Amino acid sequence: MNRRQFFKFMGVAGAAAGGASTVRGEEWCSKAPPDSMGCLVDLTRCVGCRKCEEACSQVNGLPPPEKESCDCVVFDRKRRPDENAFTVVNRYFSGKLTDLDKPVPTFVKTQCMHCQDPACVSACIAAALSKQSNGAVKYDVSKCIGCRYCMVACPFEIPAYEYHDPLTPRVRKCTFCYDRISKEGGIPGCAAICPVEAITFGKRSDMLSLAKKRLRENPGKYTDHIYGEKEVGGTAWIYISSVDFHRLGFPSLPHEPVPKWSETIQHSLFSYLWSPMALFGILAGIMHKSGKKNREGRAKEASDGS
């Protein structure tokens, strides 16, 4: 089978697989828990005290933040959550000025968004990640095989890996304080400690209602966008801001959940055994062509010898 024949066969097989799974692709439905918890972050209230970083470190047994809360030098560079810091606060300047012509900062807390339909859960081949009924995306280290597909799949680039640990490395990210919120009345450490109440915890539906209420009552204060309401199907963490989110490091993402596409592709490849059939068909074609060529070669050699 030459190159042209190979790609022609693959094209036909792919079209057949796609056609066979059209109906199956429409069967995808959201697996988001119906009444999960969530957090509303009002960026107009955040003052960059980084108390949330301290609380996160204490609750999860992590090293203390790299700088003291009062030391603003830490804001000179943008940071990302990693294996030793599940949440970080960054500072952005959007161009707004005070009456004294000083730039107005906007502080942004960043952590795992705990998507309603998490791409990391869909990508994990060992079921080490799972979406819980309370909204948390929970990690089970006993199931993790270290493939790190979750890191590739996450649209927010959040999961971190313990590369420094060669024996028992783990995938690390915000836990949504699962153990705390699983108990009656428990709330995440960052929400509990915030001195300006920039973080509000409760039912996700209530958080969305609160966000819409603030936008409706203060049209000149906020941009008309609730980040996390619809991005990638919705997230447990939602934000409101006075500055456009693209200026604050938030990625522009589609509204469709990532698993809707990835799982549809998977179903397209494997529904009705189309993918194995295509593979076996290719192998059979190659074997047939090779066998025919060998037989013709032997026949020619015999003819020349006679």
Beta pairing, strands 103-110 & 171-172: unpaired
Whether 306 shows a pLDDT value over 80: the answer reads no
Whether 23 shows a pLDDT value over 50: the answer reads no
Confidence of residue 84 (pLDDT cuts 50, 70, 90): very high
Rounded average pLDDT over 188-209: 97
Confidence of residue 195 (pLDDT cuts 50, 70, 90): very high
For 211-229, the pLDDT digits (tens) are 999 999 998 999 999 999 9
**Cβ contacts of 24 within 8 Å, gap of 6 or more:** 264, 267, 268, 271
DSSP tag of 268: H
Alpha-carbon torsion (248, 250, 251, 254), positive or negative: negative
For 114-167, the pLDDT digits (tens) are 999 999 999 999 999 999 999 999 999 999 999 999 999 999 999 999 999 989
The answer to whether the CB of 193 falls within 8 A of the CB of 59 is no
Beta pairing, strands 237-240 & 37-42: parallel
pTM: 0.78
What would the two tokens of residue 156 be? 């927010």
pLDDT at 177: 96
**Cβ contacts of 83 within 8 Å, gap of 6 or more:** 160, 161, 162, 170, 172
